[in-house]
Structure 1
Amino acid sequence: MSAQTMQKGTFSSDSDVHVTREDQSKINKFARLNAKLQDLQDEIKDKENLMKNLDDASDELLMVDDEEEPVPFMVADVFFHTPLEETKAKLETLKDELTRQMEELNSKGSRFKEEMALLKRDLYAKFGDNINLEPDED
């Protein structure tokens, strides 16, 4: 089994490597952090798509001809008709909140990556090519 075909956190059987309880704990922690990082990245992607939708909605509001006409504003599954300026303000508030959430998620992701880098360093130092902690290239 070559290093390229191994799954995350697997060992090659080419050499006899003793795995201590501490080593296994590090491997498990790395795997949990990796799973959390993947979930975070998915959540960030969802929020980026939502931000794109909010930007598109803001652009559409620029083309409104009658500023006195109420604009439909969707909250959950219900549309509310609100004045144009109020709708613009709500969109900006939503975009600001979404930006803050994305910054928090990115910060958390950075902390996960830092911790994973330390674990990778320790594990590769001990196991070398006998362990693969790199993401699969699908």
Structure 2
Amino acid sequence: MLNQEEEVDAEVTWEDQQKINSFSKLNTKYSDLEITFESKQQEKEYLNDLTEELELADEDDRIKYKIGEAFINISVEQAQQRIEKDKEILIQELEQLKNAMDHINEQMSQLKVHLYGKFGKAINLEKE
């Protein structure tokens, strides 16, 4: 509930409503990207752990490596090469996600400036 001093007597125009809707869409998209980023970050940590485990394996050992839904037997060296390639791909994906999140954050900041400027404390654009 707003105090009487915090109330703003501003009319919500169609343009303002469009900005509020845009902010909401961007916020949802940002949350989705954040979840994907955390998932990819976790996957990268798993690959790092796997790399450390493979360093302890004998080079003559055969490793079961999952490709899609199937497992194939490959040498430790081949597994390490595949893991390094997978990590490089993940790093690129993480960079792309981070850039997309930064871009969305910039757009949201611009919308916040406008909306808080017009509506003050009468509008809440912060995550809870």
TM-score, reference length from structure 1 = 0.86
Task: Give the structure with the higher percent helix.
Answer: 2
Counterpart amino acid of residue 51 in structure 1? K
Task: Determine what percentage of the aligned residue pairs are the same residue.
Answer: 34
2:75 matched to 1:83? Answer: yes
CA distance in 1, matches of 2:109, 2:8: 24
Per the alignment, residue 60 of structure 1 pairs with 53
Residue 31 of structure 2 corresponds to residue 38 of structure 1: yes
Q: How does 1:102-121 map to 2 (within 5 A)?
A: 102-121=94-113
**What does residue 9 of structure 1 align with?**
none
Q: How far 1:14 sits from its partner (Å)?
A: 4.1
Asked if the contact 2:7/2:121 (under 8 Å) is kept, the reply is no
Q: Is 2:20 the partner of 1:27?
A: yes
Shift of 1:106: 0.2
Q: Does 1:74 align with 2:60?
A: no
Distance 1:71 1:2 in 2: 63
Distance in 2 separating the partners of 1:104 and 1:28: 25
Tell me how large the CA RMSD over aligned residues is: 1.6
How many residues align structurally? 126
Instruction: Check if 1:126 corresponds to 2:127.
Output: no
- Structure 2 unaligned runs (5+)? none
**Which 4+ runs in 1 deviate beyond 2 A?**
13-17
What's the TM-score once normalised by structure 2's chain length? Answer: 0.92
Highest RCO, 1 vs 2 (Cα 8 Å, sep ≥ 6) = 1
Q: What 5-or-longer segments of structure 1 have no aligned partner?
A: 4-12
